[in-house]
Amino acid sequence: METIRRTKIVDLLKREDFGAMVNVKGWVRTRRGSKQVNFIALNDGSTINNVQIVVDLANFDEELLKLITTGACLSVNGELVKSVGSGQAAEIQAREIEVLGTCDNTYPLQKKGHSMEFLREIAHLRPRTNTFGAVFRIRHNMAIAIHKFFHERGFFYFHTPLITASDCEGAGQMFQVTTMNLYDLKKDENGSIIYDNDFFGKQASLTVSGQLEGELAATALGAIYTFGPTFRAENSNTPRHLAEFWMIEPEVAFNDINDNMDLAEEFIKYCVQWALDNCYDDVKFLNDMFDKGLIDRLQGVLKESFVRLPYTEGIKILEEAVANGHKFEFPVYWGVDLASEHERFLVEEHFKRPVILTDYPKEIKAFYMKQNEDGKTVRAMDVLFPKIGEIIGGSEREADYDKLLTRIQELNIPMKDMWWYLDTRKYGSCPHSGFGLGFERLLLFVTGMANIRDVIPFPRTPRNAEF
């Protein structure tokens, strides 16, 4: 084959210099046609759209043609011509075809619909489907949008450790990191494990959040954000939980709870707008194939201000709904940690737009949140979204040394892990706020996918660490 520089399909489909000789490389999605002429749909991952290769069978060797099956990888030289069929402006009249990689009929992605469950079993091949191509291009674009948003506003990207000795949420559901031989653990007379010979000389775990380290960065750099993997060893087999997920956590010195809510709303709207502006083909594909209301829902979030609702008022609304005959699976009372059905009721049925719930009871929130004057509630904020429930959780942080220390002692959080965190309240403490956005939850919203396992390439869930 003569060497012509390869053009990506995303760029080729925009070209109008018909008659030019071009080269494309990619994988066969489908091949159809008659005895004289075949049409090959070729995709190279750069776009949801395929390019049509028109093959005049008389010009090609029969043995070569036999190798052009679904999934095979081709390099095609040909003439860029105006497309007669509808759907695309340009197609390629094939002159030379080289089969770079053959694909036999055991290839699991033959032309038919596949269930999401089946595709999870072949996660190493599912990026080749239209659906997952779209999802992973959107995932990339959302990551770009996030960095762009914070960079443009003068935030600094701060890298917090993945291996840590502190449990930020106090939930204790952490994966341990060790180099010790688990078959032969040395223990002291009380039966406690001796960590002296371990790599770090103490118990270490994978991080559940970068927030605590993020806070001390904010008290030096002013405004920072983290964006990296976090790990939760909770046995939650739900469509919204992963054991390994990515999290974005801004932390801002001198921001109070209201500034925090403003930032969260502006941030999430920026990301949704970015998806509509930069991933429209992919979003439209997912809208048409999976979730007919997706684009409307995305545009709906942009249109209106989010409702800001104190927890106590939210509980009243839910109690009224129950009194009027609405059935919830889980009970509603002041002090309960809302279930996703409660959150979605407020968003989808009552207000019909996103809700920021504030001022939660301190008992159901983390130790570091700023306490309100009433002694019962804290300056927490959860952003609740249609179809998802909680998408962001955050708060104004407790800046007072004594109050924070008291709360740490009340909850029996080991001081040996917390001394450095308390130092930030001892040396030049300042008001500050931040939040965490689960990246995959954002992707669930933007893609319309129903299960969080389908917006990350290789999901890690209880009893599942394949690939």
Report yes or no on 365 lying in a domain.
yes
In terms of domains, do 79 and 139 share one? no
In terms of domains, do 83 and 142 share one? no
Q: Give the residue carrying structure tokens 């223990």.
A: 187
In a 3-state reduction of DSSP, which class is residue 342? helix
pLDDT tens digits, one per residue of 46-67: 999 999 999 999 999 999 999 9
Domain boundary residue among 101, 118, 139? Answer: 101
Residues paired with 461 in a beta bridge: 464
The CATH code of the domain that includes 60 is: 2.40.50.140
In a 3-state reduction of DSSP, which class is residue 249? strand
* pLDDT beyond 80 at 224: yes
Q: Give the residue carrying structure tokens 């002694």.
A: 375
Residues near 402 by beta carbon (within 8 Å), at least 6 away in sequence: none
Report yes or no on 323 lying in a domain.
no
The CATH code of the domain that includes 227 is: 3.30.930.10
Residues near 58 by beta carbon (within 8 Å), at least 6 away in sequence: 36
> Residue 42 CB: number of other CB atoms within 10 A?
23
Report yes or no on 440 lying in a domain.
yes
Domain boundary residue among 68, 101, 134? Answer: 101
In terms of domains, do 389 and 295 share one? yes
What pLDDT is attached to residue 237? 85
pLDDT tens digits, one per residue of 332-370: 999 999 999 999 999 999 999 999 999 999 999 999 999
CA atoms within 13 A on the CB side of 425: 17
In terms of domains, do 96 and 150 share one? no
Report yes or no on 343 lying in a domain.
no
* Beta strand 163-164 pairing with 176-177: unpaired
In terms of domains, do 219 and 175 share one? yes
Q: DSSP label at 348?
A: I
What pLDDT is attached to residue 111? 78
What pLDDT is attached to residue 182? 92
How many independent structural domains does the chain possess? 2
The domain containing residue 283 runs over which residues?
126-306+353-454
What pLDDT is attached to residue 168? 53
How far is CA 263 from each of CA 212, 268, 269, 356, rounded to the nearest angstrom?
A: 19, 9, 10, 12
Q: How far apart are CA 41 and CA 49, in angstroms?
A: 9
* Beta strand 377-385 pairing with 355-361: antiparallel
Residues near 185 by beta carbon (within 8 Å), at least 6 away in sequence: 193
Q: How far apart are CA 216 and CA 238, in angstroms?
A: 33
What pLDDT is attached to residue 1? 82
In terms of domains, do 138 and 79 share one? no
Q: Where are the alpha helices (DSSP H) in 200-279?
A: 211-221, 257-278
Residue-by-residue DSSP string for 24-91: EEEEEEEEEE-SSEEEEEEE-SSSSPPEEEEEEGGGS-HHHHHT--TT-EEEEEEEEEE-SSSS-SEE
Q: Give the residue carrying structure tokens 């396992």.
A: 453
What pLDDT is attached to residue 167? 55
Report yes or no on 116 lying in a domain.
no
Report yes or no on 312 lying in a domain.
no
CA-nearest of 18, 81, 73, 13 to 40 is 73
In terms of domains, do 68 and 201 share one? no
Residue 355 and residue 309 in contact, taking contact as beta carbons nearer than 8 Å: yes
> Residue 112 CB: number of other CB atoms within 10 A?
5
Q: How far apart are CA 79 and CA 91, in angstroms?
A: 8
In terms of domains, do 56 and 156 share one? no
In terms of domains, do 84 and 130 share one? no
* pLDDT beyond 90 at 236: no
Mean pLDDT value of segment 245-267: 98
In terms of domains, do 69 and 138 share one? no
* pLDDT beyond 60 at 228: yes
CA dihedral 410, 413, 414, 416 (to 10 degrees): -100
pLDDT tens digits, one per residue of 366-397: 999 999 999 999 999 999 999 889 999 999 99
Residues near 142 by beta carbon (within 8 Å), at least 6 away in sequence: 271, 274, 275, 439, 442, 443, 446
Report yes or no on 230 lying in a domain.
yes
Residue 167 and residue 205 in contact, taking contact as beta carbons nearer than 8 Å: yes
Residue 255 and residue 432 in contact, taking contact as beta carbons nearer than 8 Å: yes
> Residue 323 CB: number of other CB atoms within 10 A?
8
Q: How far apart are CA 369 and CA 358, in angstroms?
A: 12
pLDDT tens digits, one per residue of 417-452: 788 999 999 999 999 999 999 999 999 999 999 999
Report yes or no on 80 lying in a domain.
yes
In terms of domains, do 158 and 281 share one? yes
- Give the model's confidence band at 166: pLDDT under 50 very low, under 70 low, under 90 confident, else very high: low
Copy the structure tokens of residue 190.
Answer: 């009380």
Q: DSSP label at 204?
A: E
Mean pLDDT value of segment 15-40: 96
Q: How far apart are CA 285 and CA 132, in angstroms?
A: 11
With vertex at residue 272, the alpha carbon angle to CA 379 and CA 48, rounded to the nearest 5 degrees, is 145
In whole numbers, what is the pLDDT of the chain averaged over residues?
94
In terms of domains, do 262 and 193 share one? yes
